[in-house]
């Protein structure tokens, strides 16, 4: 009687939160959740649910737009922490303190950024000087675009005069007339530095804290099934997001190297500049390569006298992207990320409007994270199925 009562008491005890974080329990939890996958996807039928949910989503988007200078660095730090967390965990396995191990990935990222800026400053400055001199050549090659080019030159001159002359276009310019273009660039550089500092600060503490937020959530949730589900969702988000970002970064690096080699043999010059440009633009799906094709077309027109020879750089860049974007990358990511292409475009446009180019870069990872969460939560499986490609 005593042994049976002890066994029944052990069964009624609440589970240990740390046991949900172990790999063995996580693997056993995945098999237990397969039973619920066959259930139907729930759809809310109450009109009040749609109404309140729509108001809540609009309020969240309004808050994200108003507080973009604060929220965007935090979101960027969260995405980077998902990418760099495996490296920090690896350093902790070799008995390195987490507070010290969190420094090394951040230092590597900062060092790479500083090296790229230092290496690209000279060629970028030289091309900035060549741009005004190459406009007559561009006008001569494209006679059809002579009128729009002249209109663009007049618009640039009027914008420069508006920033220097007080009282003109005052209601349309957000820049103070007395600071001019130099002050505007300084203010923009200061905003970028503030955002980078906030991102690095938040990123370090996220990496140094480890899974402290996940442990607190597991301790708060009352049911063991909810604890398992929270651990599964967190691990799936980290695994899939890390694999996505690593795969995209590797493929973008290959695209940058191939573009640099192609531009070098074309005689365009400055292969590092064009390779880095292709590398960065490839983070923006669809719109980035299209914009890159236009850039290489204009650069070819400014560099070569022959029209057909000037079409070679954009053609080579487009072929490289076609091979990478239509064959290699989809084959590598098809098993983990199958997103609706229409929703990908809408996400790009929406987050570009919200946060600019950085928002467009983060649009696909945020959409993928949303799909992973919806697929794991029974109440949101219908939304996850809608996001699937």
Is residue 1 very low, low, confident or very high in pLDDT (cuts 50, 70, 90)?
Answer: very low
What is the model's pLDDT at position 17?
47
Q: What is the mean pLDDT of the chain?
A: 74
Q: Which two tokens stand for residue 92?
A: 């902790």
Average the pLDDT over 330-348 and give the result.
75
Please compute, for residue 142, the number of CA atoms within 13 A of its CA located in the half-sphere on the CB side. Answer: 17
For residue 103, the tally of other CB atoms under 10 A from its CB is 14
Which has more confidence, 213 or 35? 213
Euclidean distance between the first and the last CA atom of the chain, given in angstroms as a whole number: 58
What is the model's pLDDT at position 187?
58
- Of 298, 294, 293, 295, which is closest to residue 316 (Cα–Cα)? 293
Among the ranges 110-124, 176-190, 200-214, 225-239, which has the highest mean pLDDT value? 200-214
Q: Three-class SS of residue 290?
A: helix
What is the model's pLDDT at position 333?
67
Tens-place pLDDT, residues 352-374 = 888 887 888 888 888 888 887 78
387-to-130, 209, 261, 279, 383 alpha-carbon distances in Å = 46, 32, 38, 27, 6
Residues paired with residue 388 on neighbouring β-strands, in sequence order: 339
Tens-place pLDDT, residues 240-262 = 777 777 888 888 889 989 998 98
Contact of 268 with 313, CB cutoff 8 Å: yes
Phi/psi region, residue 14 (left: phi>0; alpha: psi -120 to 50; beta: rest), is beta
Average the pLDDT over 322-345 and give the result.
74
Rounded Cα–Cα distance for residues 166 and 56 (Å) = 43
Average the pLDDT over 139-146 and give the result.
58
- Of 360, 264, 278, which is closest to residue 324 (Cα–Cα)? 278
User: Which of 40-54, 102-116, 144-158 bottoms out in mean pLDDT, i.e. has the lowest?
Assistant: 144-158
What is the model's pLDDT at position 311?
83
Is residue 153 very low, low, confident or very high in pLDDT (cuts 50, 70, 90)?
Answer: low
- Of 129, 223, 139, which is closest to residue 231 (Cα–Cα)? 223
Q: Which two tokens stand for residue 79?
A: 């995405």
Rounded Cα–Cα distance for residues 99 and 176 (Å) = 44
What is the model's pLDDT at position 23?
47
Rounded Cα–Cα distance for residues 88 and 9 (Å) = 40
Average the pLDDT over 301-328 and give the result.
81
Contact of 244 with 368, CB cutoff 8 Å: yes
Q: Three-class SS of residue 145?
A: coil
Which has more confidence, 129 or 112? 112
Instruction: Give the helix, strand, coil percentages of the chain, each rounded to 5.
Output: 85, 0, 15
Segments making up each domain of the chain, as ranges: 67-163+177-210
Q: Indicate whether 32 pLDDT > 50.
A: no
300-303: which pairs have CB atoms within 8 A and are 24 or more residues apart?
300/268, 301/134, 301/137, 301/138, 301/141, 301/142, 302/130, 302/131, 302/134, 302/135, 302/137, 302/138, 303/134, 303/267, 303/268, 303/269
Contact of 254 with 279, CB cutoff 8 Å: no
What is the model's pLDDT at position 9?
44
3-state SS, 46-67, equals CHHHHHHHHHHHHHHHHHHHHC
User: Which of 38-42, 51-55, 136-140 bottoms out in mean pLDDT, i.e. has the lowest?
Assistant: 38-42
Q: Indicate whether 211 pLDDT > 70.
A: yes
Average the pLDDT over 115-123 and give the result.
78
Q: Indicate whether 332 pLDDT > 80.
A: no
Q: Indicate whether 97 pLDDT > 80.
A: yes
Average the pLDDT over 318-326 and give the result.
83
Is residue 96 very low, low, confident or very high in pLDDT (cuts 50, 70, 90)?
Answer: confident
Is residue 18 very low, low, confident or very high in pLDDT (cuts 50, 70, 90)?
Answer: low
Please compute, for residue 254, the number of CA atoms within 13 A of its CA located in the half-sphere on the CB side. Answer: 12
Contact of 242 with 78, CB cutoff 8 Å: no
User: Which of 91-95, 151-155, 156-160, 194-198 bottoms out in mean pLDDT, i.e. has the lowest?
Assistant: 156-160
59 φ/ψ angles, rounded to the nearest 5 degrees: -65, -40
Tens-place pLDDT, residues 170-188 = 433 344 444 554 555 555 5
Average the pLDDT over 64-78 and give the result.
87
What is the model's pLDDT at position 326?
73
Query: Of all residues in the chain, what percent carry a pLDDT higher than 70?
Result: 71
Q: Indicate whether 27 pLDDT > 50.
A: no
Rounded Cα–Cα distance for residues 260 and 269 (Å) = 9
User: How large is the angle between the packed helices 103-141 and 68-93, nearest 10 degrees?
Assistant: 130
Q: Indicate whether 216 pLDDT > 70.
A: yes
Q: Indicate whether 128 pLDDT > 60.
A: yes
């Amino acid at each position: 009687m005593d042994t049976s009562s002890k066994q029944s008491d052990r069964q009624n005890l609440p589970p240990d939160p740390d046991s949900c974080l172990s790999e063995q329990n996580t693997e056993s939890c995945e098999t237990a959740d397969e039973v619920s996958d066959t259930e139907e996807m729930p759809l809310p039928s109450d009109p009040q649910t749609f109404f309140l949910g729509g108001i809540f989503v609009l309020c969240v988007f309004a808050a994200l737009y108003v507080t973009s200078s604060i929220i965007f660095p935090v979101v960027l730090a969260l995405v980077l922490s998902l990418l760099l967390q495996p490296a920090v965990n690896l350093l902790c396995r070799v008995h390195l303190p987490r507070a010290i191990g969190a420094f090394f990935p951040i230092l590597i990222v900062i060092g790479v950024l500083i090296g790229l800026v230092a290496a690209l400053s000279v060629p970028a400055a030289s091309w900035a000087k060549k741009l005004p001199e190459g406009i007559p050549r561009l006008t001569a090659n494209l006679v059809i675009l002579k009128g729009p080019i002249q209109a663009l030159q007049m618009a640039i001159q009027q914008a420069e005069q508006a920033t220097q002359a007080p009282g003109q276009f005052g209601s349309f310019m957000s820049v103070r007339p007395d600071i001019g273009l130099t002050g505007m660039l300084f203010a923009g550089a200061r905003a970028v530095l503030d955002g980078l500092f906030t991102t690095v600060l938040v990123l370090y503490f996220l990496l140094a804290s480890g899974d402290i937020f996940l442990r607190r959530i597991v301790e708060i949730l009352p049911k063991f099934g909810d604890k398992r589900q929270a651990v599964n969702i967190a691990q799936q988000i980290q695994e899939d997001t890390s694999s996505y970002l690593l795969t995209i970064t590797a493929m973008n690096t290959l695209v940058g190297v191939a573009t640099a080699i192609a531009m070098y043999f074309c005689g365009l010059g400055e292969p590092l500049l064009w390779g880095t440009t292709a590398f960065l633009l490839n983070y923006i799906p669809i719109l980035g390569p299209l914009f890159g094709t236009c850039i290489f077309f204009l650069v070819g027109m400014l560099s070569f006298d022959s029209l057909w020879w000037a079409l070679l750089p954009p053609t080579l860049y487009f072929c490289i992207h076609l091979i990478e974007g239509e064959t290699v990358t989809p084959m590598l990511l098809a098993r983990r990320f199958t997103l609706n292409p229409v929703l990908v475009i809408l996400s790009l446009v929406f987050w570009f409007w919200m946060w600019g180019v950085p928002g467009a870069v983060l649009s696909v990872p945020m959409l993928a994270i949303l799909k992973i969460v919806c697929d794991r939560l029974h109440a949101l499986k219908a939304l996850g199925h809608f996001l699937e490609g």
